Amino acid sequence: MTTSAGTRDASAMNKMHGLRPNALGLPALFAQSLAVISPTMTAVLIIPLAFASAGQGTWLAYAFGTVMLLFVVFCLNQFAKRSAFAGSMYAYTAKGLGPSSGVFSGWTLIWAYYFIAVAGLCGFAVFCGQLLSALGYHGSVHPIVFFAISAVACWVIAYKDIRVSSILTMALEGASVACITALACVILFKHGFSVDTKQLSLSGVNVRGMGLAVVACIFSLVGFEAATTMGAEAKNPRRNLPRAVIASLLITGAFMVFMAYVEVGGTSNYGAGWTSAPLNYLAVAYNVSWFRIPVSIGAMVSFFSLSLSCLNAGSRIMYPMARHGIFSGHLGRAHATNRTPHVAVTVYIAMIFALPAFLMIFTNPLTAFGDAGTLAAFGFLVAYYLITVAAPVYLKKLGELSWRNVVLAAVAVLCLMVPTIGSFYPQPAWPVNLFPYIFLAWMAAGAGWLFLVNRRQPGILSDIEADLERAPELMGEDVEIPELSPQPVMA
Protein backbone atom coordinates (compact mmCIF):
# COMPACT_ATOMS: atom_id res chain seq x y z
CA MET A 1 0.00 0.00 0.00
CA THR A 2 1.20 3.53 -0.68
CA THR A 3 0.65 6.81 1.07
CA SER A 4 -0.14 9.95 -0.88
CA ALA A 5 1.87 12.03 1.57
CA GLY A 6 4.86 9.81 1.02
CA THR A 7 4.46 10.14 -2.71
CA ARG A 8 4.23 13.93 -2.51
CA ASP A 9 7.32 14.09 -0.26
CA ALA A 10 9.26 11.88 -2.65
CA SER A 11 8.12 13.99 -5.60
CA ALA A 12 9.26 17.16 -3.88
CA MET A 13 12.63 15.59 -3.11
CA ASN A 14 12.94 14.66 -6.79
CA LYS A 15 12.36 18.24 -7.92
CA MET A 16 14.69 19.78 -5.35
CA HIS A 17 17.52 17.30 -5.27
CA GLY A 18 18.05 15.83 -8.71
CA LEU A 19 21.37 15.51 -10.51
CA ARG A 20 22.84 18.70 -11.98
CA PRO A 21 21.43 19.22 -15.50
CA ASN A 22 23.43 20.67 -18.40
CA ALA A 23 26.69 20.32 -16.47
CA LEU A 24 28.82 18.34 -18.92
CA GLY A 25 29.76 19.29 -22.46
CA LEU A 26 31.25 17.09 -25.14
CA PRO A 27 34.87 17.23 -23.84
CA ALA A 28 33.77 16.15 -20.34
CA LEU A 29 31.63 13.31 -21.70
CA PHE A 30 34.48 12.19 -23.94
CA ALA A 31 36.82 12.24 -20.93
CA GLN A 32 34.45 9.96 -19.00
CA SER A 33 34.57 7.25 -21.67
CA LEU A 34 38.28 7.82 -22.32
CA ALA A 35 39.16 7.29 -18.67
CA VAL A 36 37.23 4.02 -18.43
CA ILE A 37 38.85 2.67 -21.60
CA SER A 38 42.16 3.92 -20.15
CA PRO A 39 44.57 3.91 -23.11
CA THR A 40 47.42 4.37 -20.63
CA MET A 41 46.54 1.05 -18.98
CA THR A 42 46.80 -0.68 -22.34
CA ALA A 43 50.13 0.94 -23.17
CA VAL A 44 51.79 0.12 -19.86
CA LEU A 45 50.39 -3.35 -19.15
CA ILE A 46 48.08 -4.90 -21.77
CA ILE A 47 49.94 -4.71 -25.10
CA PRO A 48 52.47 -7.37 -24.02
CA LEU A 49 49.55 -9.77 -23.37
CA ALA A 50 48.30 -9.29 -26.92
CA PHE A 51 51.87 -9.61 -28.23
CA ALA A 52 52.21 -13.03 -26.59
CA SER A 53 49.58 -14.33 -29.02
CA ALA A 54 49.78 -12.09 -32.09
CA GLY A 55 53.49 -11.24 -32.15
CA GLN A 56 54.20 -8.93 -35.09
CA GLY A 57 50.47 -8.65 -35.76
CA THR A 58 49.61 -6.98 -32.44
CA TRP A 59 48.87 -3.62 -34.09
CA LEU A 60 46.44 -5.32 -36.49
CA ALA A 61 44.71 -7.13 -33.61
CA TYR A 62 43.93 -3.75 -32.03
CA ALA A 63 42.64 -2.46 -35.36
CA PHE A 64 40.36 -5.49 -35.67
CA GLY A 65 39.14 -5.05 -32.09
CA THR A 66 38.29 -1.39 -32.69
CA VAL A 67 36.34 -2.11 -35.87
CA MET A 68 34.46 -4.98 -34.23
CA LEU A 69 33.31 -2.85 -31.30
CA LEU A 70 32.23 -0.10 -33.69
CA PHE A 71 29.25 -2.28 -34.60
CA VAL A 72 28.21 -2.30 -30.94
CA VAL A 73 28.59 1.49 -30.87
CA PHE A 74 26.29 1.82 -33.88
CA CYS A 75 23.60 -0.10 -31.97
CA LEU A 76 24.14 1.86 -28.75
CA ASN A 77 23.92 5.18 -30.56
CA GLN A 78 20.47 4.32 -31.89
CA PHE A 79 19.35 5.02 -28.32
CA ALA A 80 21.83 7.77 -27.44
CA LYS A 81 20.72 10.02 -30.30
CA ARG A 82 17.04 9.65 -29.39
CA SER A 83 16.85 9.76 -25.59
CA ALA A 84 19.05 10.26 -22.53
CA PHE A 85 18.73 9.35 -18.87
CA ALA A 86 20.83 8.91 -15.76
CA GLY A 87 22.48 5.49 -16.08
CA SER A 88 21.54 5.37 -19.75
CA MET A 89 22.53 1.80 -20.69
CA TYR A 90 20.14 0.51 -18.02
CA ALA A 91 17.35 2.71 -19.37
CA TYR A 92 18.18 2.06 -23.03
CA THR A 93 17.96 -1.71 -22.63
CA ALA A 94 14.72 -1.36 -20.68
CA LYS A 95 13.19 0.71 -23.48
CA GLY A 96 14.14 -1.92 -26.05
CA LEU A 97 13.69 -5.26 -24.28
CA GLY A 98 11.59 -4.33 -21.28
CA PRO A 99 12.37 -3.39 -17.68
CA SER A 100 13.54 -6.87 -16.62
CA SER A 101 16.27 -6.83 -19.25
CA GLY A 102 17.10 -3.26 -18.26
CA VAL A 103 17.60 -4.33 -14.66
CA PHE A 104 19.90 -7.13 -15.79
CA SER A 105 21.88 -4.67 -17.90
CA GLY A 106 22.27 -2.37 -14.90
CA TRP A 107 23.21 -5.35 -12.72
CA THR A 108 25.98 -6.40 -15.12
CA LEU A 109 27.30 -2.84 -15.51
CA ILE A 110 27.52 -2.39 -11.74
CA TRP A 111 29.69 -5.53 -11.76
CA ALA A 112 31.78 -4.32 -14.71
CA TYR A 113 32.50 -0.84 -13.37
CA TYR A 114 33.16 -2.29 -9.93
CA PHE A 115 35.92 -4.61 -11.05
CA ILE A 116 37.45 -2.08 -13.43
CA ALA A 117 37.60 0.35 -10.50
CA VAL A 118 39.28 -2.37 -8.42
CA ALA A 119 41.78 -2.84 -11.24
CA GLY A 120 42.36 0.92 -11.16
CA LEU A 121 43.25 0.81 -7.46
CA CYS A 122 45.62 -2.10 -8.07
CA GLY A 123 47.27 -0.38 -11.04
CA PHE A 124 47.67 2.77 -8.98
CA ALA A 125 49.48 0.75 -6.29
CA VAL A 126 51.72 -0.96 -8.86
CA PHE A 127 52.93 2.31 -10.37
CA CYS A 128 53.26 4.04 -7.03
CA GLY A 129 55.79 1.32 -6.28
CA GLN A 130 57.52 1.80 -9.64
CA LEU A 131 57.69 5.56 -9.10
CA LEU A 132 59.28 5.14 -5.67
CA SER A 133 61.79 2.74 -7.21
CA ALA A 134 62.60 5.19 -10.02
CA LEU A 135 63.14 7.88 -7.38
CA GLY A 136 65.62 5.65 -5.56
CA TYR A 137 63.43 4.45 -2.69
CA HIS A 138 63.58 0.68 -2.29
CA GLY A 139 61.75 0.28 0.98
CA SER A 140 58.44 -1.50 1.47
CA VAL A 141 55.04 0.21 1.49
CA HIS A 142 51.94 -1.95 1.94
CA PRO A 143 49.60 -1.73 -1.10
CA ILE A 144 46.62 -0.94 1.16
CA VAL A 145 48.18 2.48 1.80
CA PHE A 146 48.06 3.23 -1.93
CA PHE A 147 44.53 1.79 -2.23
CA ALA A 148 43.36 4.07 0.56
CA ILE A 149 44.96 7.19 -0.96
CA SER A 150 43.31 6.59 -4.33
CA ALA A 151 39.93 5.53 -2.90
CA VAL A 152 39.62 8.50 -0.53
CA ALA A 153 40.61 10.99 -3.24
CA CYS A 154 38.11 9.41 -5.65
CA TRP A 155 35.34 9.62 -3.05
CA VAL A 156 35.99 13.28 -2.20
CA ILE A 157 35.97 14.36 -5.85
CA ALA A 158 32.99 12.22 -6.92
CA TYR A 159 31.00 13.32 -3.86
CA LYS A 160 31.72 16.99 -4.46
CA ASP A 161 31.04 17.84 -8.10
CA ILE A 162 30.77 15.91 -11.36
CA ARG A 163 32.23 18.89 -13.20
CA VAL A 164 35.40 18.75 -11.10
CA SER A 165 35.57 14.99 -11.69
CA SER A 166 35.29 15.40 -15.44
CA ILE A 167 37.82 18.24 -15.71
CA LEU A 168 40.32 16.38 -13.55
CA THR A 169 39.81 13.15 -15.45
CA MET A 170 40.38 14.88 -18.76
CA ALA A 171 43.52 16.65 -17.52
CA LEU A 172 45.07 13.56 -15.91
CA GLU A 173 44.41 11.17 -18.78
CA GLY A 174 45.48 13.80 -21.33
CA ALA A 175 48.76 14.41 -19.52
CA SER A 176 49.43 10.69 -19.25
CA VAL A 177 48.76 10.05 -22.95
CA ALA A 178 50.93 13.05 -23.90
CA CYS A 179 53.82 11.69 -21.84
CA ILE A 180 53.53 8.24 -23.38
CA THR A 181 53.29 9.72 -26.87
CA ALA A 182 56.46 11.73 -26.25
CA LEU A 183 58.33 8.57 -25.28
CA ALA A 184 56.94 6.81 -28.36
CA CYS A 185 58.31 9.59 -30.58
CA VAL A 186 61.73 9.21 -28.94
CA ILE A 187 61.63 5.49 -29.74
CA LEU A 188 60.55 6.08 -33.34
CA PHE A 189 63.09 8.79 -34.15
CA LYS A 190 66.02 8.09 -31.81
CA HIS A 191 68.07 6.45 -34.54
CA GLY A 192 66.21 7.85 -37.54
CA PHE A 193 62.75 6.76 -38.57
CA SER A 194 62.42 3.46 -40.43
CA VAL A 195 59.42 1.33 -41.36
CA ASP A 196 59.16 -1.96 -39.47
CA THR A 197 58.61 -4.36 -42.37
CA LYS A 198 58.23 -7.35 -40.03
CA GLN A 199 55.14 -5.86 -38.48
CA LEU A 200 53.60 -4.65 -41.73
CA SER A 201 54.19 -8.02 -43.41
CA LEU A 202 52.80 -9.84 -40.33
CA SER A 203 55.88 -12.02 -40.13
CA GLY A 204 55.21 -15.26 -38.24
CA VAL A 205 51.58 -14.40 -37.45
CA ASN A 206 49.00 -17.19 -37.50
CA VAL A 207 45.21 -17.04 -37.46
CA ARG A 208 44.78 -18.74 -34.07
CA GLY A 209 47.26 -16.42 -32.38
CA MET A 210 45.58 -13.40 -33.96
CA GLY A 211 42.18 -14.59 -32.72
CA LEU A 212 43.44 -14.91 -29.14
CA ALA A 213 45.03 -11.45 -29.32
CA VAL A 214 41.82 -9.87 -30.60
CA VAL A 215 40.08 -11.14 -27.45
CA ALA A 216 42.62 -9.29 -25.26
CA CYS A 217 42.33 -6.20 -27.46
CA ILE A 218 38.53 -6.08 -27.24
CA PHE A 219 38.67 -6.39 -23.47
CA SER A 220 41.11 -3.48 -23.30
CA LEU A 221 38.75 -1.30 -25.38
CA VAL A 222 35.56 -1.74 -23.36
CA GLY A 223 34.17 1.23 -21.46
CA PHE A 224 33.33 3.51 -24.40
CA GLU A 225 29.69 3.54 -23.25
CA ALA A 226 30.56 5.21 -19.92
CA ALA A 227 29.61 8.68 -21.21
CA THR A 228 25.98 7.55 -21.50
CA THR A 229 25.75 7.13 -17.70
CA MET A 230 25.90 10.95 -17.55
CA GLY A 231 22.81 11.39 -19.71
CA ALA A 232 20.90 13.39 -17.08
CA GLU A 233 23.86 15.76 -16.58
CA ALA A 234 24.93 16.24 -20.19
CA LYS A 235 24.51 19.35 -22.31
CA ASN A 236 22.59 18.61 -25.49
CA PRO A 237 22.83 14.87 -24.73
CA ARG A 238 21.28 13.57 -27.95
CA ARG A 239 24.05 15.17 -29.94
CA ASN A 240 26.99 14.96 -27.52
CA LEU A 241 26.53 11.46 -26.12
CA PRO A 242 26.77 9.66 -29.50
CA ARG A 243 29.75 11.78 -30.45
CA ALA A 244 31.54 11.10 -27.17
CA VAL A 245 30.96 7.35 -27.43
CA ILE A 246 32.18 6.92 -30.99
CA ALA A 247 35.07 9.40 -30.64
CA SER A 248 36.38 7.70 -27.50
CA LEU A 249 36.48 4.32 -29.23
CA LEU A 250 38.05 5.57 -32.48
CA ILE A 251 40.68 7.78 -30.86
CA THR A 252 41.74 5.26 -28.21
CA GLY A 253 41.69 2.48 -30.79
CA ALA A 254 44.03 4.47 -33.04
CA PHE A 255 46.29 5.25 -30.07
CA MET A 256 46.51 1.57 -29.16
CA VAL A 257 47.35 0.58 -32.76
CA PHE A 258 50.11 3.20 -32.72
CA MET A 259 51.50 2.12 -29.34
CA ALA A 260 51.40 -1.55 -30.26
CA TYR A 261 53.46 -0.77 -33.36
CA VAL A 262 55.94 1.31 -31.35
CA GLU A 263 56.37 -1.13 -28.46
CA VAL A 264 56.73 -4.22 -30.63
CA GLY A 265 59.05 -2.47 -33.08
CA GLY A 266 61.05 -0.75 -30.35
CA THR A 267 61.79 -4.01 -28.56
CA SER A 268 62.52 -6.12 -31.65
CA ASN A 269 66.25 -6.22 -30.86
CA TYR A 270 65.79 -6.92 -27.16
CA GLY A 271 64.84 -9.91 -25.06
CA ALA A 272 61.54 -10.83 -23.48
CA GLY A 273 62.13 -8.75 -20.33
CA TRP A 274 60.19 -5.80 -21.77
CA THR A 275 56.81 -7.49 -21.31
CA SER A 276 56.49 -6.83 -17.55
CA ALA A 277 56.89 -3.03 -17.80
CA PRO A 278 57.29 -2.17 -21.50
CA LEU A 279 57.54 1.62 -21.34
CA ASN A 280 60.00 1.71 -18.46
CA TYR A 281 62.05 -0.96 -20.22
CA LEU A 282 62.09 1.04 -23.45
CA ALA A 283 63.03 4.24 -21.62
CA VAL A 284 66.17 2.52 -20.31
CA ALA A 285 66.91 0.77 -23.60
CA TYR A 286 66.79 4.05 -25.54
CA ASN A 287 68.93 5.95 -23.01
CA VAL A 288 66.13 8.12 -21.67
CA SER A 289 65.80 6.37 -18.33
CA TRP A 290 64.61 9.61 -16.74
CA PHE A 291 61.37 9.01 -18.68
CA ARG A 292 60.53 6.28 -16.16
CA ILE A 293 59.52 8.95 -13.66
CA PRO A 294 56.99 10.84 -15.83
CA VAL A 295 55.72 7.54 -17.29
CA SER A 296 55.14 6.13 -13.81
CA ILE A 297 53.44 9.35 -12.69
CA GLY A 298 51.32 9.30 -15.83
CA ALA A 299 50.31 5.70 -15.21
CA MET A 300 49.49 6.47 -11.57
CA VAL A 301 47.20 9.37 -12.40
CA SER A 302 45.64 7.41 -15.25
CA PHE A 303 44.73 4.52 -12.96
CA PHE A 304 43.39 7.03 -10.47
CA SER A 305 41.18 8.62 -13.13
CA LEU A 306 40.08 5.12 -14.17
CA SER A 307 38.80 4.38 -10.67
CA LEU A 308 37.23 7.84 -10.42
CA SER A 309 35.37 7.46 -13.73
CA CYS A 310 34.14 3.98 -12.80
CA LEU A 311 32.95 5.33 -9.45
CA ASN A 312 31.00 8.05 -11.25
CA ALA A 313 29.60 5.63 -13.83
CA GLY A 314 28.70 2.83 -11.44
CA SER A 315 27.01 5.13 -8.93
CA ARG A 316 24.93 6.61 -11.75
CA ILE A 317 23.73 3.13 -12.67
CA MET A 318 22.74 2.48 -9.05
CA TYR A 319 21.03 5.89 -8.75
CA PRO A 320 18.16 5.40 -11.26
CA MET A 321 17.72 1.76 -10.27
CA ALA A 322 17.25 2.87 -6.66
CA ARG A 323 14.79 5.58 -7.69
CA HIS A 324 12.85 2.88 -9.51
CA GLY A 325 12.74 0.75 -6.35
CA ILE A 326 15.24 -1.95 -7.36
CA PHE A 327 17.66 -0.94 -4.59
CA SER A 328 17.19 0.93 -1.34
CA GLY A 329 15.77 4.40 -1.89
CA HIS A 330 18.76 5.89 -0.03
CA LEU A 331 20.94 5.08 -3.04
CA GLY A 332 18.62 7.18 -5.19
CA ARG A 333 19.23 10.38 -3.26
CA ALA A 334 21.12 13.32 -4.74
CA HIS A 335 23.02 15.80 -2.58
CA ALA A 336 21.06 19.02 -2.09
CA THR A 337 24.05 21.27 -2.88
CA ASN A 338 26.49 19.16 -4.88
CA ARG A 339 23.78 17.50 -7.00
CA THR A 340 25.68 14.21 -7.01
CA PRO A 341 24.38 10.73 -6.05
CA HIS A 342 26.38 11.01 -2.82
CA VAL A 343 24.98 7.95 -1.05
CA ALA A 344 25.57 5.67 -4.04
CA VAL A 345 29.06 7.14 -4.44
CA THR A 346 29.90 6.44 -0.79
CA VAL A 347 28.57 2.88 -0.78
CA TYR A 348 30.22 2.03 -4.10
CA ILE A 349 33.70 3.30 -3.17
CA ALA A 350 33.57 1.43 0.14
CA MET A 351 32.85 -1.78 -1.79
CA ILE A 352 35.59 -0.99 -4.31
CA PHE A 353 38.20 -0.47 -1.59
CA ALA A 354 37.21 -3.54 0.45
CA LEU A 355 37.96 -6.19 -2.18
CA PRO A 356 41.60 -5.40 -3.08
CA ALA A 357 42.37 -4.72 0.58
CA PHE A 358 41.12 -8.22 1.41
CA LEU A 359 42.87 -9.84 -1.58
CA MET A 360 46.26 -8.56 -0.45
CA ILE A 361 46.18 -11.35 2.17
CA PHE A 362 46.52 -13.85 -0.66
CA THR A 363 48.07 -12.13 -3.67
CA ASN A 364 49.78 -8.99 -5.02
CA PRO A 365 48.42 -5.88 -6.80
CA LEU A 366 49.58 -6.92 -10.28
CA THR A 367 47.86 -10.31 -10.10
CA ALA A 368 44.74 -8.74 -8.59
CA PHE A 369 44.77 -6.19 -11.43
CA GLY A 370 44.68 -8.91 -14.08
CA ASP A 371 42.01 -10.94 -12.30
CA ALA A 372 39.77 -7.90 -11.73
CA GLY A 373 40.01 -6.88 -15.38
CA THR A 374 39.08 -10.40 -16.50
CA LEU A 375 36.05 -10.49 -14.19
CA ALA A 376 34.90 -7.06 -15.39
CA ALA A 377 34.92 -8.21 -19.01
CA PHE A 378 32.01 -10.60 -18.49
CA GLY A 379 29.80 -7.76 -17.27
CA PHE A 380 30.61 -5.61 -20.28
CA LEU A 381 29.96 -8.48 -22.69
CA VAL A 382 26.47 -9.21 -21.35
CA ALA A 383 25.56 -5.51 -21.34
CA TYR A 384 26.79 -5.18 -24.94
CA TYR A 385 24.81 -8.23 -26.05
CA LEU A 386 21.67 -6.79 -24.48
CA ILE A 387 22.02 -3.35 -26.04
CA THR A 388 22.82 -4.88 -29.44
CA VAL A 389 19.68 -7.01 -29.41
CA ALA A 390 17.62 -4.16 -27.92
CA ALA A 391 18.46 -1.71 -30.72
CA PRO A 392 16.46 -3.28 -33.59
CA VAL A 393 13.58 -4.09 -31.21
CA TYR A 394 13.48 -0.46 -30.09
CA LEU A 395 13.61 0.83 -33.66
CA LYS A 396 10.77 -1.50 -34.62
CA LYS A 397 8.65 -0.04 -31.80
CA LEU A 398 9.31 3.42 -33.23
CA GLY A 399 8.54 2.27 -36.76
CA GLU A 400 12.07 3.13 -37.90
CA LEU A 401 13.62 -0.33 -38.35
CA SER A 402 15.49 -0.95 -41.62
CA TRP A 403 17.43 -3.89 -42.97
CA ARG A 404 20.64 -1.92 -42.34
CA ASN A 405 19.89 -1.82 -38.59
CA VAL A 406 19.27 -5.56 -38.54
CA VAL A 407 22.52 -6.28 -40.37
CA LEU A 408 24.53 -4.03 -38.03
CA ALA A 409 23.03 -5.72 -34.98
CA ALA A 410 23.70 -9.19 -36.40
CA VAL A 411 27.33 -8.32 -37.18
CA ALA A 412 27.73 -6.85 -33.67
CA VAL A 413 26.49 -10.09 -32.11
CA LEU A 414 28.90 -12.12 -34.26
CA CYS A 415 31.77 -9.82 -33.23
CA LEU A 416 30.89 -10.23 -29.56
CA MET A 417 31.03 -14.00 -30.01
CA VAL A 418 34.80 -13.73 -30.54
CA PRO A 419 35.67 -12.58 -26.99
CA THR A 420 32.90 -14.78 -25.57
CA ILE A 421 34.35 -17.95 -27.06
CA GLY A 422 37.87 -16.73 -26.26
CA SER A 423 36.93 -16.53 -22.58
CA PHE A 424 36.31 -20.28 -22.49
CA TYR A 425 38.57 -21.75 -25.19
CA PRO A 426 41.36 -22.54 -24.81
CA GLN A 427 40.49 -23.13 -21.16
CA PRO A 428 42.41 -20.69 -18.95
CA ALA A 429 44.44 -21.84 -15.96
CA TRP A 430 43.08 -21.99 -12.43
CA PRO A 431 41.61 -19.85 -10.89
CA VAL A 432 40.71 -17.85 -14.02
CA ASN A 433 38.76 -20.85 -15.35
CA LEU A 434 36.35 -20.38 -12.44
CA PHE A 435 35.63 -16.70 -13.23
CA PRO A 436 32.76 -17.32 -15.69
CA TYR A 437 30.95 -19.34 -13.04
CA ILE A 438 31.50 -16.63 -10.43
CA PHE A 439 29.90 -14.18 -12.85
CA LEU A 440 27.01 -16.58 -13.50
CA ALA A 441 26.46 -16.72 -9.73
CA TRP A 442 26.24 -12.91 -9.73
CA MET A 443 23.65 -13.04 -12.52
CA ALA A 444 21.67 -15.69 -10.63
CA ALA A 445 21.74 -13.45 -7.56
CA GLY A 446 20.40 -10.60 -9.72
CA ALA A 447 17.56 -12.78 -10.98
CA GLY A 448 16.71 -13.79 -7.42
CA TRP A 449 16.79 -10.18 -6.23
CA LEU A 450 14.53 -9.02 -9.07
CA PHE A 451 12.07 -11.81 -8.22
CA LEU A 452 11.95 -10.76 -4.58
CA VAL A 453 11.53 -7.07 -5.44
CA ASN A 454 8.72 -7.87 -7.86
CA ARG A 455 6.99 -9.97 -5.22
CA ARG A 456 7.34 -7.23 -2.62
CA GLN A 457 6.26 -4.43 -4.97
CA PRO A 458 3.79 -5.85 -7.51
CA GLY A 459 3.65 -3.72 -10.62
CA ILE A 460 7.14 -2.25 -10.19
CA LEU A 461 8.21 -3.35 -13.68
CA SER A 462 5.20 -1.68 -15.25
CA ASP A 463 5.96 1.48 -13.29
CA ILE A 464 9.56 1.49 -14.54
CA GLU A 465 8.42 1.09 -18.13
CA ALA A 466 5.88 3.87 -17.78
CA ASP A 467 8.43 6.20 -16.20
CA LEU A 468 10.94 5.64 -18.98
CA GLU A 469 8.28 6.24 -21.62
CA ARG A 470 7.62 9.68 -20.13
CA ALA A 471 11.14 10.81 -21.10
CA PRO A 472 11.10 13.00 -24.25
CA GLU A 473 12.12 11.54 -27.56
CA LEU A 474 14.16 13.34 -30.20
CA MET A 475 11.40 14.53 -32.51
CA GLY A 476 12.62 18.03 -33.20
CA GLU A 477 14.17 20.59 -30.91
CA ASP A 478 16.03 19.52 -27.78
CA VAL A 479 14.06 19.78 -24.54
CA GLU A 480 15.11 19.56 -20.94
CA ILE A 481 15.23 15.99 -19.67
CA PRO A 482 13.31 15.44 -16.42
CA GLU A 483 14.58 13.41 -13.51
CA LEU A 484 13.27 9.89 -13.08
CA SER A 485 10.21 9.73 -10.86
CA PRO A 486 10.91 8.02 -7.53
CA GLN A 487 8.90 4.99 -6.48
CA PRO A 488 6.16 5.67 -3.93
CA VAL A 489 7.07 5.22 -0.27
CA MET A 490 5.79 1.91 1.06
CA ALA A 491 3.55 2.24 4.09
DSSP state of 140: -
Tell me the one-letter amino acid at 12.
A
What would the DSSP string read from start to end of 411-463?
Answer: HHHHHHHHHHHHTTSSPPPTTGGGHHHHHHHHHHHHHHHHHHHHHHSTTHHHH
Q: What is the distance between the alpha carbons of residues 121 and 144, in angstroms, rounded to a whole number?
A: 9
CB 105 within 8 A of CB 383: yes
What are the residues facing 234 on neighbouring strands?
24
Q: What is the pLDDT of residue 438?
A: 95
Domain 23-193+205-469 fold is: Amino acid/polyamine transporter I (1.20.1740)
Q: What number of other Cβ atoms are within 10 A of residue 325's Cβ?
A: 21
The model's pLDDT over 37-48, given as tens digits with 9 standing for 90+, comes to 999 988 888 888
The C-alpha torsion from 468 through 392 and 230 to 475, rounded to 10°, is -70
Q: What is the pLDDT of residue 488?
A: 42
Q: What is the pLDDT of residue 274?
A: 66
Low-confidence spans in the chain with pLDDT less than 70 = 1-17, 191, 269-276, 471-491
Q: What is the pLDDT of residue 471?
A: 56
The model's pLDDT over 402-421, given as tens digits with 9 standing for 90+, comes to 999 999 999 999 999 988 88
Q: What is the pLDDT of residue 12?
A: 40
Q: What is the pLDDT of residue 138?
A: 80
Pinpoint the alpha helices (H) of 43-98.
47-54, 58-80, 88-97
Q: What is the distance between the alpha carbons of residues 343 and 329, in angstroms, rounded to a whole number?
A: 10
Q: What is the distance between the alpha carbons of residues 280 and 270, in angstroms, rounded to a whole number?
A: 14
User: Closest Cα to residue 92, out of 314, 390, 324?
Assistant: 390
Q: What is the distance between the alpha carbons of residues 406 and 404, in angstroms, rounded to a whole number?
A: 5
Own/partner pairs, 439-443, CB within 8 angstroms, 24+ separation: 439/111, 439/375, 439/378, 439/379, 442/107, 442/111, 443/104, 443/107, 443/108, 443/382
CB 276 within 8 A of CB 161: no
Q: What is the pLDDT of residue 31?
A: 93
So where are the chain's domains? 23-193+205-469
